[in-house]
Structure 1
Amino acid sequence: MKIAVAGIFHETNTFAPGLTNLDAFHSEWVYGNDAFLNRYSKTRTSMGGVVDAMHEAGAELSCGLYTAATPSGMVTSEAAADLIAAAVESIDTSAEGAVAILHGAMVAQGIPDMEGEFLRQARVKLGPSKPLAVLLDLHANISQEMVLQADIIIGYDTYPHIDAYERAVEAVMLLVRTIRGEIRPVLALAQPGMLIVPQVMLTDEEGPMKEIMNRAFAIERESNVLNVTVAGGFPYSDIPDAGVAFVVMTNNDPSLAECYAEELKQMAWDFRERLQYEGCPAKEAVAKAMAMPDGPVILVEGSDNVGAGAPADATHILIHLTDPLKKSLIVIRDEEAVAMAQRLGVGEVFEGEIGGKSDHLHGSPVRVKGIIRTLFDGKYTHIGPYMTGNWAYMGKTAVIESGRLTVILTENRTAPWDIGHVSSVGLRPIDFHIIVVKAAIAWRTAFGPICRSIIYVNTPGCCSSDLTHFHYEQLRRPIYPLN
């Protein structure tokens, strides 16, 4: 049995500054079996799961193009056309089925549903009879077109996303069973018409999202149910299908799939008020953190969430940390400041304005003076539970120590998904009373084991928790809580 693999992975924030071009995908542009195996074997990624599941099933792997870019602004129409053409062309039509590794919230100029368009073209390439399995992120905005073109849809069950490997194995095994004729998957999609922010999608603590997940797991144990995908959606993509969605997959039982999908839709709607979120103003959050006797205290700056496309240079919290009472740590992406530190060298005094340079939404530059303690190439490998073995690249990096404030300046936007985000530059997170993370939930895989307290901060930004800040034009209405 031969199975083809291809994919394009990008979470698109249509409110983020700037556009995303083809160059952004070249940092992870993997083509062919040798490159795929070299990059992803023995990693706890979706791609690593595909490799291991193929081996376990005795299937032959036929890798086309897999490419990914850090979440960012709208993808250009030219890049979208090139990406789809290259990925679709790379699909091996001699294979008996295919796996598509996608995110589910990719948007391009003129193409609001990039995954739907890719799957439509992939279906044409494969033909109508060959089964197509799709892997999606929990933050996917799932469209009817995606469900129409796919035979199997499997989404992550966890946030932070620590089960990408397991869900890939599940997708491949279901695909193998489909090819062998053991099952005949059918899908049903239900959308309750709700936008929720990432901060309320935590799946490993008591709350509405966990309750919904638990019900989904119970449904999966029912006879003839193959999988249930719960998608929290991505509210920072202004497209018709943005929001919460459920896909129920059964073995040739469409009525059962529709029944369970509608049940989950109603459950989410009943939880709609519990799924709203309110954070703390920045100045108040810093004061609360300083007053706490034990650290680290994690200040969650979700409005500048790198993993959701934000620029990583917001200064709304930094402005209140320039002379902290206790040791504090923040990471700021500032290419100009890093270049200046590189020119000066280790041990020299850095004095300049950092952050707040992407746009006016994320604050103004803040003047910092301190000693350059470390210069680093920015490369590390994930050692924690989030995509273990995956490569990360912060670009040229500098550590500035300004009294009790330590600033890690990076050339590239890099999400705090792994402890290497800090330890790679020789710092110990446990030494700081305050750590500012530019994330919503996924920071927990890096700092969760050591944090003593958490304060969610509500500040302006392209990932603000207050969705009324955004001017939606394409979103299907009515939708809660905007209407």
Structure 2
Amino acid sequence: MKLAIVGIFHETNTFAPGKTELEDFAQEWIGGNELFHQRYEHTRTSMGGVIDGARVELAAITCGLYTAAPPSGMVSRRTVEALFDSVVSSIDLSADGIVAILHGAMVAEGFPDIEGELVRRIREKAGPSKPIAVTLDLHANISKHMVEQVDIIVGYDTYPHIDAYERGVEAVQLLAQTIRGVIKPVSAFVQPRLLLVPQVMLTDVAGPMQELMDCAFAIESDPKVVNVTVAGGFPYSDVPDAGVSFVVTTNNDQPLADHYAQELSRMAWELRDRLKSNGYPAAEAVAMAFAEEQGPVILVEGADNVGGGAPADATHVLKHLINAPKKCLIVIRDMEAAHFAHRLGVGAVCDAEIGGKSGNLNGEPIPITGVIRELFDGKYTHIGPYMTGQWADMGKTAVIEAGNLTVIVTEKRTAPWDLGHVTSVGLHAEDFHTIVVKSAIAWKTAFGTLCKRIIQVDTPGCCGENLYHFQYEQLTRPIYPLDPISYMEESQ
């Protein structure tokens, strides 16, 4: 058996400033078996899972193009066309099946459903009978069109996402069973018309999202069920299909798939009032943090969530940390300040205005005078449970200490998914009383085992938790919580 592997991975925030261009994908542009294995073998990524899954199935893999860019703004038209051409042309048509590693919330000018369009083009090239499996992020905005083009959809089961590897293995396993004729996948797809913020999609503690996942796992215990994908969706992509969705795949039993999909949809609808998040204004949140005797206390600045495409330079919290009474840490992306610090050198006093340079939503630059304690090229490897072994690059990085405030200034946006972005510059999270994370939930794979308290901060930004602040133009309406809507209206 031979399997072709391709993929594009990008989470697009259509409210974020700027556009995502082809050069943004250059950092992770991997084509051919040698490079693919060199980059991903022995990593706990989807790609590493595909490699190991194929080995278990005694299948050869032929790697076309896999590319990814950090979450960011709208993808340009020229970029998406180039990506389509490069990925589709790289597929080995002699393969018995195809695995596409996708995100599910990628958007480009003229293409609100990039993954749906990509799999349509793959299907057109591969023909109607060649099995196709895709892996998706839990924040995918799945479309009916996407489901109709493929045989298998396998979405992440966790948030923070720590099962990308397992889902890659599973996708290969189910694809191999399809090729061998062991299963004949049929799928049901349903959208309960719910728009959720990432903060309420936590799956590793008791709550509504965990209850949905437990229900999905119970359904998967039915021997006729092949896979259940629960997608929380990504509310910062203004597209028709944004929101919660479910895909239930059975072994040639469409009525059963339909039944289970509707069961999950009704359950999600009944949980809707619990699927809400509320935070505190920045000044109040900071005061609450410093009032705690023990740390680390995590201030979650979700509105500037790097993992959701935000600029990572918001200063709404930073301005309240000047002259902090206890040791605190924040990471700010500021290319100018990072380069300035590198010119000054370790031990020099850096007097600079930091952050607040990407737009009105992100506050004003904050004057900071501090000593440069460390300079770093920004390259590290994930050491924690999130995609262990994945490469990361913060660009030119400087550690500036101003009294009790430590600022890690980075050239590039880097999400706090791994402790490596702190330990790589010689810092230890447990040494700080308060840590600001520009994330929604995924920060837990870095600091979750260390923190003593979590405080949600409600600030402006393109990943804000108050969805009423966003001007949606493409989103299918009505949808909860933005509109008055009943489940019966949705089902019609």
The TM-score range, normalised by the shorter chain, is over 0.9
Q: Deviations over 1:296-318 (max 9, x none)?
A: 00000000000000000000000
Whether 2:298 is the aligned partner of 1:298: answer yes
Whether 2:428 is the aligned partner of 1:428: answer yes
- What is the CA distance between 1:337 and its match in structure 2? 0.4
CA distance in 2, matches of 1:169, 1:343: 46
CA distance in 2, matches of 1:183, 1:396: 50
Superposed, 1:133-152 pairs within 5 Å as 133-152=133-152
Whether 2:415 is the aligned partner of 1:415: answer yes
Superposed, 1:437-448 pairs within 5 Å as 437-448=437-448
Partner of 1:10: 10
- What is the CA distance between 1:277 and its match in structure 2? 1.0
Letter of the 2:456 partner, please give it.
Y
Partner of 1:58: 58
* Secondary structure in structure 1 of the residue aligned to 2:83: helix
CA distance in 2, matches of 1:267, 1:448: 28
- What is the CA distance between 1:223 and its match in structure 2? 2.6
Partner of 2:379: 379
Letter of the 2:255 partner, please give it.
S
Letter of the 1:402 partner, please give it.
A
CA distance in 1, matches of 2:126, 2:25: 24
Partner of 1:30: 30
Superposed, 1:192-211 pairs within 5 Å as 192-211=192-211
Partner of 1:156: 156
CA distance in 1, matches of 2:54, 2:3: 8
* Secondary structure in structure 2 of the residue aligned to 1:361: helix
CA distance in 2, matches of 1:92, 1:253: 31
Partner of 1:102: 102
Whether 2:364 is the aligned partner of 1:364: answer yes
Q: Deviations over 1:377-422 (max 9, x none)?
A: 0000001000000000000000000000000000000000000010
CA distance in 1, matches of 2:461, 2:174: 40
Partner of 2:213: 213
Q: Deviations over 1:214-254 (max 9, x none)?
A: 00000000130011000000000000000000000000001
CA distance in 1, matches of 2:21, 2:162: 28
* Secondary structure in structure 2 of the residue aligned to 1:368: strand
CA distance in 2, matches of 1:429, 1:162: 21
* Secondary structure in structure 2 of the residue aligned to 1:147: helix
* Secondary structure in structure 2 of the residue aligned to 1:307: helix
Partner of 1:454: 454
The two structures have a TM-score, normalised by structure 1, of: 1.00
Partner of 2:489: none
Q: Deviations over 1:309-364 (max 9, x none)?
A: 00000000001001101000000000000111011111111011100000001111
Partner of 2:230: 230
CA distance in 2, matches of 1:450, 1:278: 23
* Secondary structure in structure 2 of the residue aligned to 1:11: coil
Whether 2:391 is the aligned partner of 1:396: answer no
Q: Deviations over 1:239-275 (max 9, x none)?
A: 0000000000000001110110011011111111100
CA distance in 2, matches of 1:258, 1:11: 29
CA distance in 2, matches of 1:34, 1:223: 38
Q: Deviations over 1:40-59 (max 9, x none)?
A: 00000000000001111110
Q: Deviations over 1:142-163 (max 9, x none)?
A: 0011101010000000000000
Partner of 2:327: 327
Q: Deviations over 1:158-178 (max 9, x none)?
A: 000000000110110000000
Letter of the 2:482 partner, please give it.
L
Partner of 2:282: 282
Partner of 1:467: 467
* Secondary structure in structure 1 of the residue aligned to 2:111: coil
CA RMSD in angstroms comes to 0.5
Q: Deviations over 1:89-112 (max 9, x none)?
A: 001100010000000000000100
CA distance in 1, matches of 2:452, 2:42: 33
CA distance in 1, matches of 2:339, 2:40: 32
Letter of the 1:399 partner, please give it.
V
Letter of the 1:428 partner, please give it.
H
CA distance in 1, matches of 2:293, 2:371: 28
- What is the CA distance between 1:294 and its match in structure 2? 0.1
* Structure 2: runs of 5+ lacking an equivalent: 484-492
4+ residue segments displaced more than 3 Å: none
Partner of 1:251: 251
CA distance in 2, matches of 1:35, 1:258: 41
Whether 2:106 is the aligned partner of 1:90: answer no
- What is the CA distance between 1:469 and its match in structure 2? 0.7
CA distance in 2, matches of 1:90, 1:287: 54
- What is the CA distance between 1:439 and its match in structure 2? 0.4
CA distance in 1, matches of 2:44, 2:72: 24
- What is the CA distance between 1:429 and its match in structure 2? 0.6
CA distance in 1, matches of 2:364, 2:482: 29
Letter of the 1:131 partner, please give it.
P
Percent identity, please: 67
Letter of the 2:246 partner, please give it.
F
CA distance in 1, matches of 2:267, 2:366: 45
CA distance in 1, matches of 2:147, 2:208: 25
Letter of the 2:201 partner, please give it.
M
Letter of the 1:129 partner, please give it.
S
CA distance in 2, matches of 1:210, 1:8: 28
CA distance in 1, matches of 2:132, 2:258: 21
CA distance in 2, matches of 1:190, 1:323: 51
Partner of 1:21: 21
* Secondary structure in structure 2 of the residue aligned to 1:358: coil
CA distance in 2, matches of 1:385, 1:35: 23
CA distance in 2, matches of 1:412, 1:69: 12
CA distance in 1, matches of 2:196, 2:98: 32
Partner of 1:80: 80
- What is the CA distance between 1:280 and its match in structure 2? 1.0
CA distance in 1, matches of 2:266, 2:355: 43
